[in-house]
Structure 1
Amino acid sequence: MKLLLLLGLLVGTIGVPAVAQSPLPRLLHTDSVLAPVARYARQHRLQIIYTRIRRDQRGRPHFRQYRYRLRPREYFYPASAIKLPAAVLALEKMQVLARQVPGLSSESPLRIDSVAWGQTSVVQDTSSQHHRASVAHYVRKLLLVSDNDAYNRLYELVGPAALQQGLRAHGLRHTVLRHRLSVGDQDSTARRTNAVAFFSDSSLTRPLYVQPAATFTGAWPRPRQHGLLVGQAHLQNGRRLPEPLDFSARNTTTLPDLHRTLRAILFPASVARRRQFQLDSADRRLLLDYMHRLPRQSQWPHYAAAHYPDNYAKFLLAGGAAGPLPAGIRIYNKIGQAYGFLVDNAYITNPAQGVEFLLSAVLYVNQDGVLNDDHYDYDTVGLPFLRRLGQVLYQRELQAKTAGKRAVVSSRKKQ
Structure 2
Amino acid sequence: MATAQVKNDPWLMELLQKKASPLLKSVLDQPETYQYQLIYTEIKRDAHQKPHFMNHYLNVDRNRYFNPASTVKMPVAFAALEKLNRLGKKITVQTSMLTDSAFSGQTTVTSDTTAESGLPSMEHYIKKIFLVSDNDAYNRLYEFMGQKTLNEALWKKGYKDIRITRRFVPMTTEENRHTNPIRFLNNGQVIYAQPPAYSSLRFRFPPTKILVGKGHWDKNDNLINEPMDFTTHNNLPLEDGQQILRSILFPESVPSPQRFHLTADNYRMLYTFMSELPYESLFPAYDTTEFFDSYTKFFFFRAGRQKIPDYIRVFNKAGWSYGFLTDYCYVVDFKNKVEFMLSATLYVNKDGILNDNKYEYEETGYPFFREVGDIIYDHELNQKKAVIPDLEPWKFHYH
* Structure 1 and Structure 2 fold alike (TM over 0.5): yes
Among candidates 391, 395, 398, match of residue 374 of structure 2 = 391
Alignment RMSD = 1.7
1:192 has 2:175 as partner: no
- The residue correspondences of 1:4-403 to structure 2 (distance < 5 A) are 21-30=9-18, 31-32=20-21, 33-98=23-88, 102-181=89-168, 183-201=169-187, 205-223=188-206, 228-236=210-218, 237-401=220-384
2:8 and 2:125 map into 1 onto residues whose CA distance is: 39
Q: Which amino acid aligns with 1:229?
A: L
Listed one character per residue, the Cα deviations across residues 299-319 of structure 1 (whole Å, up to 9, x for unaligned) are 122212222110110001112
Q: Is the 8 A contact 2:44 2:385 kept in 1?
A: no
The 3 A distance-change label for structure 1 pair 58 and 403 is closer
Which runs of 5 or more residues in structure 1 are unaligned? 1-18, 406-415
Percent identical pairs in the alignment equals 37
**Structure 2 unmatched runs, 5+:** 1-6, 389-399
Q: Which amino acid aligns with 1:50?
A: Y
The residue type equivalent to 1:95 in the other structure is: N
Distance 1:304 1:39, change over 3 A: same
- Residue 65 of structure 1 aligns to a residue whose secondary structure is strand
* Structure 1 runs of 4+ with >3 Å offset: 19-22, 401-405
- The CA distance in 2 between the partners of 1:126 and 1:158, in whole Å, is 24
CA contact (8 A) 2:41 2:54 kept: yes
Q: 1:227 to 1:309 in 2, by over 3 A?
A: farther
Aligned residues: 379
1:25-62 CA-to-partner distances (Å, cap 9, x unmatched) read 11232311421101001221110011100112221111
Calculate the TM-score normalised by the size of structure 2.
0.92
SS in structure 2 of the partner of residue 304 of structure 1? coil
Distance 1:381 1:20, change over 3 A: closer
Q: Distance in 2 between matches of 1:294 and 1:158?
A: 27
Q: Tell me, in whole angstroms, the C-alpha distance in 1 between the residues paired with 2:164 and 2:83.
A: 16
Task: Quote the offset at 1:215 in angstroms.
Answer: 1.5
Query: Equivalents in 1 of 2:138, 2:269: separation in Å?
Result: 16
TM-score using structure 1 length: 0.88
Deviation at 1:94, TM superposition (A): 0.3
Q: Deviations over 1:378-400 (max 9, x none)?
A: 00011100010001000000011
